[in-house]
Amino acid sequence: MNLRHLEHWLALADTGSFSRAAEKLHITQSALSRSIQALEEDLGGLLVDRVGKKNELTPLGRSVLERARRIVHEAQELKQGAALLQQGGLGSLRVGLGSGPGAMLMTPWLRYMAEHHPTVQVSVSRGPTELQLVQLRERELDALVVDVRRVAVAPDLNMTHVVEMPAGFVCRQGHPILQRHPGPVPFEALLDYPLASTPLSQEVARLLVNHYGPRANPAQLTTLQCEEIASLMDVVSQTDAIYLGIVGAARQGLADGSLVALDMDPPFLGGARLALITLAGRTELPVMSVFRSFVAQQMPQAASIES
C-alpha cells in the first residue's frame, strides 16, 4: 500500500471534492483519481461514491478513515523525528496542563527549557481536561499532565508517572478562622467564608460528602471557581476566601508563610492522581524524553511538600 495514496485519500475525505483536494495537493484531478482508484484496488472496495458532483464516503471509506489518518500522521512524525536526530535537534513540544499541574509545572518547565534548551519551541496550553483530550487525540497537543480521575481509561492513551497529590484547605495568614479555631478547624466553620476551587472530579466530590456530609457537596460548597489556580491564590491571599484543592499548588505561599494549610477536624484525606498522558503508538520527538524526565522529577517533589 502506497503512503502517498493514503495522503491523497485523506485530502479527498477532508475536502469532499476531487477538485479542491487536487488543488490542495498541487496535482491534477486525473492524477488524484488514479491514486484513489489504486488505493481502492489495494483495499478491495470503493472508498467514495461518486454521484454527480457529490462525493460521499462508503462504509469501507468511513471504516478506514481514522486508521489511515493515524498511519499518515505517524509516518510524518517518524520522518520528522529521524531528520531531527540526524541534525542533532530535539524538535518542538506542545503540552496541555490541568489546573493543578499548571500551577506546579508551567513556570518551572518554561524556565527549565529557556535555560537548558533555548532553541527548542515549546508551548503550554491550559483548559478543561475534556477539551485537552480531544486536542491530544487530534494531535494538536503532544502530551498532557492532568488528574486521571477526570480521564476515562482507553486503549489509545498511555498514562505514566502517576503521583498522588494531597488536597486540602488553604487560607491566608491572619485569616479570622485561624483566630477563632487555634486548633483543628471543624468543617462547619468553613461555611462562613467563600470557598475557592477549580472544577473537581466526581470522585473528589464523593470524598468530600463522605467526610463532611451533604453540605460539603462542591456544587453548593464552592462559591468561586475557575481553571486558573494562580488567580484563585491571589484571591485567597487578599481576601477571606479559602482555597480547596491540591495543596502543592500553594507551595510558594506555604513556604514563605503568607498562606496556611488548615488542620481540619476530621482531616480530609482526598487528593488528585496526576499523570503524564500520551497517545499510544504515536512516534515521539526527542524533546518528549526531556519532558518525561522533568515530570518524573518535579511531580514527586511537589507531592512531598505536604505529605
The per-residue pLDDT for range 239-294, each reduced to its tens digit, is: 999 999 888 888 889 999 999 999 998 888 877 889 999 998 777 778 888 999 99
Q: How far is CA 165 from CA 97, 116, 162, 208, 219, in A?
A: 15, 27, 10, 16, 22
d(CA 175, CA 93): 42
Cβ-based neighbour number of residue 206 at 10 Å: 12
Q: Read off the amino acid at residue 169.
A: F
Reported as a pLDDT band with limits 50, 70 and 90, residue 99 is: confident
Kindly list the domain boundaries of the chain, sorted by start residue.
3-87, 93-163+274-304, 165-272
Q: Read off the amino acid at residue 269.
A: L
Reported as a pLDDT band with limits 50, 70 and 90, residue 164 is: confident
- One of 3.20.20.100, 1.10.10.410, 3.20.20.60, 3.40.190.10 is the CATH number of 165-272, namely 3.40.190.10
Q: Is 171 helix (H, G, I), strand (E, B) or coil?
A: strand
Bridge partners, residue 168, by sequence: 245
For the segment 60-87, the average pLDDT, to the nearest whole number, is 71
* Domains 3-87 and 165-272 alike in fold: no
The CATH class of the 93-163+274-304 domain is alpha beta
C-alpha closest to that of 278 among 182, 179, 178, 135: 135
The C-alpha cell 460548597 sits at 221
Indicate if the pLDDT at residue 48 is higher than 70.
Answer: yes
Average pLDDT, the chain: 86
Taking the C-alpha atoms of 143, 146, 147 and 151 in order, what is their torsion angle to the nearest 10 degrees? -50
d(CA 305, CA 162): 16
Q: What is the pTM of this model?
A: 0.63
Reported as a pLDDT band with limits 50, 70 and 90, residue 109 is: very high
Give the pLDDT score at 233: 92
Q: Read off the amino acid at residue 39.
A: L
Cα 55 from chain centre: 36
For the segment 186-203, the average pLDDT, to the nearest whole number, is 89
Q: Read off the amino acid at residue 168.
A: G
Give the pLDDT score at 307: 39
The CATH class of the 3-87 domain is mainly alpha
Indicate if the pLDDT at residue 89 is higher than 60.
Answer: no
- Confirm if 111 and 129 have CB atoms less than 8 A apart: no
- Confirm if 179 and 133 have CB atoms less than 8 A apart: no
* 181 vs 104, higher pLDDT: 181
User: What's the pLDDT tens digit per position in 15-41?
Assistant: 888 888 888 888 998 888 888 888 888
Intra-chain end-to-end CA distance of the chain, in Å? 55
Cβ-based neighbour number of residue 155 at 10 Å: 7
d(CA 41, CA 303): 56
Give the pLDDT score at 53: 66
User: What's the pLDDT tens digit per position in 119-157?
Assistant: 888 999 988 889 999 999 988 999 999 988 888 889 999
